[in-house]
Amino acid sequence: MHEDPIELDDELESGEGSEELYERVNIVADKGQEPLRIDKFLMNRVEGATRNKIQQACESGWVIVNDKPVKSNYKVKAGDKIVVMTTKNPENTDVIPEQLDLNIVFEDEDIMIINKQPGMVVHPGCGNYTGTLVNGLAWYLGGQTTEVIEPEIPRFGLVHRIDKNTSGLLVIAKSEKAMNDLAKQFFDHTVQRRYIALVWGDFEEDEGTVEAHVGRHQRFRKIMDAYPDGEYGKDAITHYKVLERFNYVTLIECRLETGRTHQIRVHMQHIGHSLFNDDTYGGNRILKGTVFNKYKQFVDNCFELMPRHALHAQTLGFIHPRTRKPVHFESPMPEDFKAVLEKWRRYISARPLED
């Protein structure tokens, strides 16, 4: 259970909260809990929380009970699962440097290019305070010491992020100047980023574009959702191109014009093509194919080979912050991704296609 003080920044108090939300408090009400307003309940349980701040968090939809946002007059009862979100990034806490195996593709005095392996969390957060890329950066860039440090170096370093179970390329800034320059390139959408993804279903066209705002899910606040009418979230554009068809699944390339949280995963789910084995957005079950048990066993074997969503950040290109020359990097397809694709090739070639 996390009972850190609830801290609301100016953005939250003005009602214009950051798109990024982080779990700050996680409490399960005791069996003997008598009905009590949630604002009073949290004041008694969370150090530093005021009733005004809790009420503001409720108004913003960031106090969640049993997976649903609640108002400040909600009566807590026994067994309720209570989560409070915040815009305060947990990476702003102290960082423990750790000697980790960082796959550094390129490095000079300004930048590092890292090929992140699937399963590695990029920055510390709730339940992931060690073993993250930031912990490794703190060791590597901070003089290889185990002393707890302030997070300036990791914060300078992280220009962008990819999900825990997404593999591929990340650029790390080694100075504040490089950080500011690269951040502006990302903001201006001039950075070239291409991903490869295996998704469920076949496409009628060889290429296309998904345009739908991406924002926090209105009910399940830990995940994102697509809003094609633009009523919530931020604008998001994903261009895709078919690379290889397997009838039941398709290998595609995605080019990001924007970089919203879970953008590719949300956009693909939105158009009915959830990523293969994406347990957050519905891809971890059979969405297309036959009813035969052998097919189910085949898909289960694929899931075991690649126990993560099938997404890889393959290419990254931008203007070098010092030389002002274009630089371009590519990451080879990971072994688990290659193995699953090869299984699909063999499966499709060995049997007739069925609806």
List, by residue number, the catalytic residues: 163
Pair of tokens at residue 16: 């214009």
Residues 6+ apart with CB under 8 A from 201: 248, 249, 250, 272, 273, 287, 288
* Burial class, 305, CB count within 10 angstroms (exposed 0-12 / middle 13-18 / buried 19+): middle
Q: In this structure, what DSSP letter does residue 91 have? A: G
Pair of tokens at residue 246: 């397997």
* Burial class, 196, CB count within 10 angstroms (exposed 0-12 / middle 13-18 / buried 19+): buried
User: Apex CA 74: angle with CA 70 and CA 78, to 5°?
Assistant: 105
Which of 86, 71, 1 has its CA nearest to residue 39? Answer: 71
User: Apex CA 327: angle with CA 182 and CA 199, to 5°?
Assistant: 85
Place of tokens 């009838």: 247
Q: Report the C-alpha gap between 291 and 175 in whole angstroms.
A: 55
